Amino acid sequence: MQFYDQHPPWRRVLALPAACLISLFSVAAGLAAQAEPLQLPTIAVNADQQRSDVWQPVGNSSRLTEQEISHTSAVHAAELLNQLPGVWISRGNGQESLTAIRSPVLTGPGTCGAFLVLENGIPIRPAGFCNVNNLFEIDYEQAGEIEVIRGPASALYGGNALHGVINVRNAQPDPAGGQLARLEAGEHDFGRLLYSNNIVADESLWRVDYLGAHDGGWRDDSGYDQQKLVLQHHRQIGSWQANGQLTGTWLEQETAGYIFGEDAYKKAG
């Protein structure tokens, strides 16, 4: 029995260079893959509530900067927070408000356990206590940053973060010092004073933020008087950074839309 090679000699000669060329391409591709550094994704673990530029959640977090807050010059929280996606603050009379963050507009006790409002990462009220209009308690008008997390938030922030978190960070003391005052006036007897002062004393930094406002209201019995004060003290003690803060809010408001007494509706006008 005899076997014959049916391939012509020139085809066998061309097969050898082709095989060598394929081998060279494979080696070159392998060397190129080894030359490129392997890029691993960054994983950030935040163990406290301090501001961090490394931790940047995607999709459910938005921020308003100090410049945006100052430019808006809001007289109500809705004017600021409604600029963010997934957030709707319904404005009531005066400083009243109802909050919705990726949720229906909740009222009464329903909103108390659904949203967590923080000041510098600290809840403004303990768990189980709330005020449906609690946004007026924070000096958002002169804040350094406002952060909103939509949807259920991490236990890092605390309880009540079922629908979302609103974290207002106060503007920090400026080592360069300086002060700023803004006076505003408008119709219906509206007037407002915003004042900030940065004080450098020895190794301490102080900052005072004050807001005083009066609004006569565009309806009968709908005006309010409001004052806010934020006092901060920062001091470096060795390798320790000591920060102290005192905040206070006072609001006296007449809520329009209510009638009193029997047959009061007949006396209207």
CATH number at residue 139: 2.170.130.10
Nearest to 94 by CA among 258, 259, 256: 256
User: Which pLDDT does position 166 carry in this prediction?
Assistant: 92
The answer to whether 214 and 189 have CB atoms below 8 angstroms apart is yes
Decide if 40 is inside a domain: no
Domain boundary among the residues 112, 140, 170 is at 170
Are 111 and 153 in the same domain?
yes
Helix (H, G, I), strand (E, B) or coil at 71: helix
Q: What pLDDT is stored for residue 16 in this prediction? A: 47
Whether residue 244 is predicted with pLDDT greater than 60 in this model: the reply is yes
Structural domain that includes position 161: 61-170
Mean per-residue pLDDT, 29-49: 62
- Between 226 and 160, the higher pLDDT residue: 226
Residue 260 has pLDDT above 90, yes or no: no
Share of the chain above pLDDT 90, in %: 42
Residue with tokens 């591709």: 29
Grade residue 4 by pLDDT with cuts at 50, 70 and 90.
very low
Domain boundary pick from 170, 188, 212: 170
Q: Is residue 149 part of a domain?
A: yes
For residue 217, is it within any domain?
yes
What's the pLDDT score for residue 161? 74
Residue 239 to residue 256: CA distance in whole angstroms: 54
Same domain, 160 and 211: no
Tell me the C-alpha distance between 140 and 171, whole Å.
Answer: 10
Q: Is residue 16 part of a domain?
A: no
Q: How many CA atoms lie within 13 A of 12 on its CB side?
A: 5
| pLDDT tens digits for range 115-125 | 889 999 888 88
Q: The whole model's pTM is what?
A: 0.74
| 156 and 67 assigned to the same domain | yes
Structure confidence at residue 215 as a pLDDT band (50, 70, 90) = very high
Residues 129 and 195 in one domain: no
Mean predicted lDDT score pLDDT of the chain: 81
The answer to whether residue 138 sits within a structural domain is yes
In total, how many domains does the chain have? 2
Instruction: Round to whole Å and give the CA distance between 141 and 250.
Output: 15
Asked if residue 48 has pLDDT above 70, the reply is no
Give the residue from 170, 202, 235 where a domain finishes: 170
Q: Report whether pLDDT(167) > 70.
A: yes
Beta strand 87-91 with 97-101 is antiparallel
Q: Is the pLDDT of residue 246 over 70?
A: yes
Q: Is residue 130 located within the same domain as residue 201?
A: no
**What's the confidence (pLDDT) of residue 44?**
62
Is there a domain that residue 83 lies in?
A: yes
Same domain, 69 and 166: yes
